[in-house]
Structure 1
Amino acid sequence: MPVVELRTHRVRVPLHTPFSTAVRTVDHVEAVLVEARDEDGRSGWGEATENWRVTGASLAGIEAAVDGPLRAVVLGRDPDATEPLTRDVGRAVQGNQAARSAVDCALHDLAAVRLSVPLARLLGAGTLRVPTDVTLAAGPAERMRSAAEQRRSEGFDVLKIKLGDPGGDDLRRLKEIGAAVGPGVRLRIDANQGWTPKQAVRLIGEFEQTGLDIELVEQPVAAGDFDGMAYVTARTGVPVMADESVWSPADALRLIRTRGADLINIKLAKCGGLRPARQLMALAEAAGVGVVLGSMMETHVGTAATAALAATARPGGLLPDLDAAWWLSRPPVTGGMVYDGAELCLPDAPGLGITGLAHTA
């Protein structure tokens, strides 16, 4: 029963609260959902999100890649042969990681649906519940403090703090947040490339002196500044995580060789899907580099695919960074994942448990 159709669906979903970083502010998510169907009418789902400032992906570009070379690779192929099929998807186009990821995830989801098992189980997971941190969007110190108090009351004990906003007082913001949440809350700092190497070292040193439980600092300097990443990593006692610097195994190897990061943030939309993400995870483990599985600002479809992979991780590792869909006012699909406090719950249903598009999408 080959793949007989590869469809694209545009969705636009508002956020319940605007989301700001050092790079951009958004109040909605625009994405292309990809649906792979077999002869029996069973569907698998994937997602590619428009993101001009980080991935460069556009809705038109995603649709062109999916409707053209990616569809040509997939149609008529056996969806149960996931490994060779997704390998060929990865080779079909240069760049276009978001589009490749959407098709890769849709094919993995379809394979799980055909076996009547959750996608997480197909990938080797022993659980369908995945804990997550939650992000505090960049803004004035008082507003971030209020948001931290609210997230803490909702059960989140790991907060990812967006700093690096030019002209902002990052130290004051951090102190306000720390005072609001008190002990027992771990803090992750994400500068989104907002600092110079010397500025990063100075600020991280000041952060350490606060006595707060700072778990890591993410992407302190520009994505392409590998020397700067190494400079910061060598001069701070707080673990440094690379995000925008890592798109491929070649990027990860460069960071490993230069000791440019203690951890890497693997995102499907950056690396091209579940297959390459698993390769990056294996590479990091072999090199003794930590991993956090994260997501772009995307919907329940893309977030759930990453959660299915995160569910395979060994217990005791760092929490995934999978609050993206938590910010949405509603899901664009029926069925699928839900949030339960600080945990993401995958349904005990075939694939991702998605039954179709929501009528409000």
Structure 2
Amino acid sequence: MTIAAVHVHRLVAPLHTPFVTALASLTHVSTVVVEIVDQDGRSGFGEAPEVWTVTGSSLASSEACVTEVFTPLLIGRDADDLVDNCRRVARAVVGNEPAKAAVDIALHDLAAVRLGIPLARLLGGSRLAVPTDVSLVVGTVDSMATAAKSRVAEGFEVLKVKVGTDAAADVDRVKSVRQAVGPEVSIRLDANQGWTPREAVRVIRSLEDAGTRVEFVEQPVAYRDVEGLAWVSDRVGTPIMADESVFGVRDLMEVIHRRAADLVNVKLAKSGGLSTGRTLLELARAQGMGTMLGSMLESEIGTGAAASLVAAYGTTAVSDLDAVWWLKGPAVAGGMRYRGATVVLPDAPGLGVSGLLAAEARSAPRTRP
């Protein structure tokens, strides 16, 4: 059974609340959805979110990569030859990780659909529910404290507090969140590269002295400054997590070699999909590093794929899978959903996605004559 067509769609979905971090302020999810179809008309879906400040890939560049490189590479190939198909995609171009991730996930989804099993089971797991944290976006001291109370009332027990816009104000923001939610709720920070190494050490030590009990601090410094990341790690007691500093295996090896971080945040859109994502989790585990799966601002497709990997492989920290929670409404038909602070995966073939809502087709499928 061969791959008959590759469709590329552009999907833009509004958020119910602006997503404000040290990197950007976003009001919409903007993503390229790849649909790979076999000869029987069965589809597998993947997506390439546009996150300029992390991957540097645009909707247009991901579309071009898929239509000009990956589509002719895949048309006519055996849809069940999953490992080799994913390997060919990974080797076909330099960079373009979001586009690679979209095709890699779509190939996995199609394989699971063809077998009639959930993607999590294809990956080797049995669970169909995994916990998630929820982000508190950058705001005033009062607004962040209020948001923290609301999220806890909704059932979230792990809060990811966005900081990094103002080192001096960040200390007060985190203190206010801790005071608002009490001692039992887990608080983690994500600076999104917003601090210098010296600022990071000052802020983290201040929070340690204040007894805020921060679980870990994610990507406190610029992504290229692995030396600075190690400098911070050596000078604070709070665990440090690498995110934007790690795209692939080579990046993680450098972080490990320099002992620059205690944990790593694996994201499918920056690692190139499930194939590399699994490798990163296994490598981190073998080196004694903590692990977490994260989501970009993306739809039920990318977030569901990440949750499926968590369901199969597990992580040492509650994963960051709240992207779809920020959507104003569903972006696809079917797929994952939330039950409080739990991501629930459908007991259906693949990702359980049956179609897209309000998606615009940007290119015609290419088929073998």
User: Taking structure 2 as the reference length, what is the TM-score of the superposition?
Assistant: 0.96
Match of 1:266, SS? Answer: strand
1:134 aligns with 2:128: no
The 3-state SS of whatever aligns with 2:52 is coil
Equivalence for 1:342: 341
Deviation at 1:214, TM superposition (A): 1.1
The answer to whether the Cα contact below 8 Å between 2:11 and 2:358 also exists between their aligned partners in 1 is no
Cα deviations by residue, 1:212-265 (Å, 9 ceiling, x for unpaired): 231100000010001101001111111100000001111100010100000110
Question: What is the number of equivalent residue pairs in this alignment?
Answer: 360
Question: Partner of 2:205: helix, strand, or coil?
Answer: helix
Q: How many Å separate the matches in 1 of 2:356 and 2:122?
A: 23
**1:185 and 1:213 in contact (8 A); partners too:** no
Which residue of the partner structure matches residue 277 of structure 1? 277
Partner of 2:249: 249
Alignment of 1:1-361 (within 5 A): 1-166=1-166, 169-314=169-314, 317-359=316-358
Q: CA deviation at 1:349?
A: 0.2
Contact 2:299 2:332 in 1 (8 A): no
Per-residue CA deviation, residues 303-332 of structure 1 (Å, 9 max, x unaligned), is: 0010000111347x2111100111001122
Residue segments in structure 2 that go unaligned for 5+ positions in a row: 361-369
Name the amino acid aligned to 1:38.
Answer: D
String of CA shifts for 1:85-131, please: whole Å, max 9, x gaps: 10111011111000000000000000000000000010011200010
CA distance in 2, matches of 1:60, 1:321: 27
SS of the equivalent of 2:313 reads: coil
C-alpha displacement of 1:154 = 0.3
| Partner Cα separation in structure 2 for residue 102 and residue 360 of structure 1 | 16
Task: Determine the C-alpha separation between the residues in 1 that align with 2:323 and 2:179.
Answer: 25
Q: Which amino acid in the other structure matches residue 344 of structure 2?
A: C
Shift of 1:289: 1.0
TM-score, normalised with respect to structure 1: 0.98
Aligned-partner SS, 2:62 = helix
Per-residue CA distance 1:311-359 (angstroms, 9 max, x = gap): 11347x2111100111001122101110110000000000000111125
Which stretch has the larger CA shift, 127-136 or 193-202?
193-202
What letter is aligned with 1:351? Answer: G
Distance in 1, matches of 2:131 and 2:179, equals: 24
Quick one: which amino acid aligns to residue 48 of structure 1? A
Deviation at 1:81, TM superposition (A): 1.3
Q: For residue 352 of structure 1, what is the amino acid of its counterpart?
A: L
CA–CA separation in structure 2 for the residues paired with 1:306 and 1:334: 18
Question: Distance in 2 between the 1:58 and 1:171 partners?
Answer: 34
Is the contact made by 2:6 and 2:35 (CA closer than 8 Å) also made in structure 1? yes
Rounded to whole Å, the distance in 1 between the matches of 2:311 and 2:68 is 33
Structure with more contact order per residue of length (Cα contacts < 8 Å, sep ≥ 6)? 2
Query: Matched residue of 1:169: which SS?
Result: helix
Letter in 1 for 2:342: E
CA distance in 2: counterparts of 1:189 and 1:30, whole angstroms: 25
Distance 1:312 1:359 in 2: 31
SS at match of 2:296: coil
Looking at structure 1, the residues matched to 212 and 223 of structure 2 have their Cα atoms a distance apart, in angstroms, of 27
Distance in 2, matches of 1:341 and 1:124, equals 25
Which segment drifts farther, 261-270 or 47-56? Answer: 47-56
Which amino acid is the alignment partner of residue 100 of structure 2? Answer: R
Please list every run of 5 or more consecutive structure 1 residues that lacks an aligned counterpart in the other structure.
Answer: none
The residue type paired with residue 350 of structure 1 is P
Contact 2:167–2:203, Cα closer than 8 Å, also in 1: no
Deviations 1:125-145 (A, max 9, x none): 120001000000011111111
Cα distance, 1:282 vs structure 2 = 1.2
Instruction: State how far apart, in whole Å, the 2-side matches of 1:269 and 1:27 are.
Output: 19
Q: Distance in 2 between matches of 1:199 and 1:109?
A: 43
Task: Answer whether contact 1:3 1:75 (CA < 8 A) is retained.
Answer: yes
Percent identity over paired residues: 52
CA distance in 2, matches of 1:40, 1:228: 53
2:364 corresponds to which residue? none
Structure 2 CA distance for aligned equivalents of residues 314 and 354 of structure 1: 23
8 Å Cα contact 2:11/2:359 also seen in 1: no
For residues 40-95 of structure 1, give each alpha carbon's deviation from its aligned partner in whole angstroms, at most 9, with x where no partner exists.
00000001111111111111101000001111221111121111110111011111
